[in-house]
Structure 1
Amino acid sequence: MPRPRLEVADIFRKYGPTYRRAKAGHVSLGQLKVMSAIEACRTEALGGHVAACTKCDHHHIAYNSCKNRHCPKCQGPAARDWMAARAEDLLPVEYFHVVFTMPAEIARIAYWNQKAVYGLLFRASAQTVMTIAADPKRLGAKVGMTSVLHTWGSALTHHPHIHMIVPGGGLSLDGTRWVACKPGFFLHVRVLARLFRRLFLEGLMELHRAGQLAFFGDLDRLALSDPFAQWLAPFRKTEWVVYAKPPFGGPEAVLAYLSRYTHRVAISNHRLVCADADTVAFRWKDYRIKHGDRQTVMRLATTEFIRRFLIHVLPDGFHRIRHYGLLASSARKTNIAKIRAILRVHLAEQTSEPEPDPQITPLTLREPCPCCGGPMRVIEIFRRGQMPMSRAPPREQAA
């Protein structure tokens, strides 16, 4: 795939130094590390290798990638490896996609307390689905799910929400049979929304009592218990947004979807239109447009674009992909084997690895020669700060 003519890395390299000087003391160490990693990604700063075609005389230099999880160029290989492992867990059942969101006012507190509140968002949404699914009046089954945290909207604004992929059914409460949901229907979203609201607000109160929440600016008064309880009270009566998308067409569709969502970053390079010292333009979906093409172009001040990108940098060590219930890591293999036995399904019947997302750049040596299509091999490796001995044109893709 050809290199996009504009990348987030280009913006950081050209305008990042000015931004860092202007925002000194207001950019976290984690955000600074992400900027540096993206700026150095697939450049001579990280070293690389020289690849040669085994059939013709084509050579090219491939610089190493930073492998930072926030880098738009580094998620393809990570997503492919992750998806190859997840392919072993797929079942020949309908899969559903459920999205859990929180009110914008609470999202503001979440940004100040990311580990605590994002973690609560994971737990409350998973507990909601497992509780409702286990109700004999609903599904009456133990279910599993894969949850992915996204913190952004299409315009790069702060909008934390959970994308949850759930098999359409689960093990009976006694563990002896598979209980399938109704075709095309998983669980009532209104029932899910109300339990999620209660669990999340209860969890938020527990975090507050434990002294795990910090408040700033005009909300610093919420550090006291009574004002915080009063502030939360209206949210107990409002409708929270939980929605379910149509079920997937099959295991192949689940893998294709997950490959786009699990390792996505706030904005892909392919959405960028142009940038200069004053303005960055990028494509986004305007959901206020109810009919017709929602794709339009947004223009932000360059400093604001960088700020919005950086607010989606997650705390070090925070996992944004998690598994619960039957798919929890500790018992996943055992549960999958048991379900396959009940459904009389073998691993060989499962789907093959999906094609990578077209917006994700593949690993260099997995690509054929751009001249003749022959296999490529590494003929030289050079370290950080070194120059390759072999003469070859640089190539933007990397190992």
Structure 2
Amino acid sequence: MGKTIIMKIMERATGHPVQVGDRVWCNVDLASARDFGGINAVLEYEEEMGKEAKVWDPDKIAFTFDLQAPSHSEKVSNNQKIIREFAHRQGIRHLFDVNHGVGQHVMLEAGLIKPGDVVLGTDSHMNLLGSIGAFATGVGNSDVAASYVNGKAWFRVPETMRIHVTGTFPKGVYMRDLITRIIGDLGANGMDYLAVEFTGPTIERASIAERITLCSMITEMSGKIPLILPSGPSLDWLVERAGQEVLERTLQLQPDADAVYCRELSYDVSTLVPLASCPDAPANVKPVREVEGTAIDQVHIGSCSNGRFEDIQAAHKVLMAAGGKISPSVRVIITPTTREVQLACIEAGYAADFLKAGIIFTNPTCALCTAQHYGALGSGEIGIATNNRNFIGKVGKGSHTYLMSPASAMASAVQGVITDPRDLLK
């Protein structure tokens, strides 16, 4: 029986053959923690091991300050201070402070993630790093703290689903619409503890940004890990940052021709239309046309799902096609994922155009993924976001959120009501 990608990754991490269903200890390549959650991992480690105990490998530990960046309270500031001091005592070099951006994206840009890596993190959407063929997963604070001791973590080898994607996206339709369609088809439990391999010509030519968008939503179907091996421009992008080892690993991780999959699906993006996840669940999917005209109060474009340069570029294109103005009845916030993305938007002139339009263009951060950041919605307000979740009250008690692509979000910002972007991109 042939091996899937996840089986090959876990065999590399354990040093011996594995089969689906096996419980195995994996060597961890990187244990990361955010400012939110990271503080608990640090305090738990020091409580159990003592303040003088050294971590197993300081070069395989990272901290990212992205949820509350910069800090908005004394409590958060003190927590971040404790993490900084821990990193200094332990000789941990990979501390990405409040001026860097969303952790997964920052670590990718820094070349810390390679295909086949096992990566832990205190974020339920760590698995978006499967976009370059890494086995990254969100775990509890205790799991991260435990990995500091001996660099290992325990997993069950998952079954694998395969999704084959063909076709070219029509104008106004994007990778976000594809993953929204898949969530609508499979539902909240449709990938329960599964690995999923994305294949096909549409995936092979997809950019890093598109791959991240696709993988960032797998958690919303209870999936364990999405996996896309680097190819084309995305392979070049990763080699430039993480080194030539990427090429060898990409070859080694190719699934066997006789690998067994628990389920196989096919999608042709040529037939897709703009879609929205309607309140109050990502799986409540409808065409944007069906909810068109719904009045909105705020639009947020950003998050780990859709805050890359290409995402912001798509929103900018819609804005300029509409004359560079947004509706006076709508608040619009755009948040780049990283400082690198922010600089690219400034150099391209997008930031100036957004500011002239009355849009708030922020520092790189997780921003309005939760109500713990500036811009939370008021009770009864309706928002649009490119985030990965829209559970009731997630960005404000009593509020409701529609999830959609950056282009659909900007089209709605321009009109003041939910709008199909194809109407502005003729």
After TM superposition, the score normalised by the length of structure 1 is 0.28
After TM superposition, the score normalised by the length of structure 2 is 0.26
Q: Which structure's relative contact order is higher, taking Cα pairs within 8 Å and 6+ residues apart?
A: 1
